[in-house]
């Protein structure tokens, strides 16, 4: 009898609707207003690569050891270097990083012995051309400069 009454008065549906209305409270809004309100990504976020420079003298930290290129599963890092005759040390000449093939696994970052290569919290890496996705040394040191929108 009770079962029948429950069926007639659509108790099950109203139970569900009650849940829906309970969640209508505006303080439960989760929508992120993205371009205006930028998301805060985690500290360990693996985003755009950056080649760190020494803040004191502006020289690169990279020692051109090629370990990141060897660690990369996609072989997208190309490091070239030449030996400085005066100091007998390898010096970095070019460093290219193809972000279009990168899967942001972080293996290059792990391999770097001097913390020169780092995956940063920048996540906006769109470009109008495919060539724009291939970052050279200068682009890696500066990092992406996305447009900042205000509402």
Task: Give me the least distance between CB of 31 and other proteins, in Å please.
Answer: 11
Q: Where are the beta strands (DSSP E) in 8-150?
A: 49-51, 77-84, 89-98, 117-119, 134-135
Check if the beta carbon of residue 35 is closer than 8 Å to that of residue 87.
no
Task: Give me the least distance between CB of 107 and other proteins, in Å please.
Answer: 7
Q: Which residues contact 68 (CB under 8 A, 6 or more apart)?
A: 77, 79, 108, 109, 111, 112, 117
Name the residue nearer to other proteins (CB basis): 32 or 85. Answer: 32
Name the residue nearer to other proteins (CB basis): 34 or 128. Answer: 34
Distances from the Cα of 8 to the Cαs of 1, 4, 14, 17, in angstroms? 11, 6, 12, 16
Name the residue nearer to other proteins (CB basis): 118 or 144. Answer: 118
Name the residue nearer to other proteins (CB basis): 73 or 132. Answer: 73
How many CA atoms are closer than 13 Å to the CA of 27, on its beta-carbon side?
1
Task: Give me the least distance between CB of 7 and other proteins, in Å please.
Answer: 8
Task: Give me the least distance between CB of 140 and other proteins, in Å please.
Answer: 18
Summarize as ranges the residues that interact with other proteins (CB under 8 A): 7, 12-13, 15-16, 18-20, 23, 30, 41-46, 71-73, 103-107, 110, 119
């Amino acid at each position: 009898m009770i079962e029948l009454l429950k069926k007639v008065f659509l108790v099950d549906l109203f139970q569900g609707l009650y849940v829906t209305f309970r969640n209508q409270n505006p303080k439960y809004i989760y929508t992120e207003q993205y371009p205006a309100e930028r998301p805060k990504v985690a500290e360990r976020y693996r985003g755009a690569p950056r080649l760190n420079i020494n803040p004191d003298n502006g020289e690169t930290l990279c020692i051109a050891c090629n370990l990141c290129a060897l660690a990369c599963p996609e072989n997208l890092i190309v490091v070239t270097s030449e030996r400085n005759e005066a100091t007998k040390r390898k010096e970095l000449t070019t460093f290219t990083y193809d972000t279009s093939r990168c899967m942001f696994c972080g293996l290059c970052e792990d391999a770097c012995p001097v913390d020169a290569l780092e995956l940063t919290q920048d996540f906006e890496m769109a470009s109008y051309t495919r060539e724009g996705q291939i970052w050279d040394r200068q682009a890696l040191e500066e990092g992406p400069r996305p447009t900042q929108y205000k509402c």
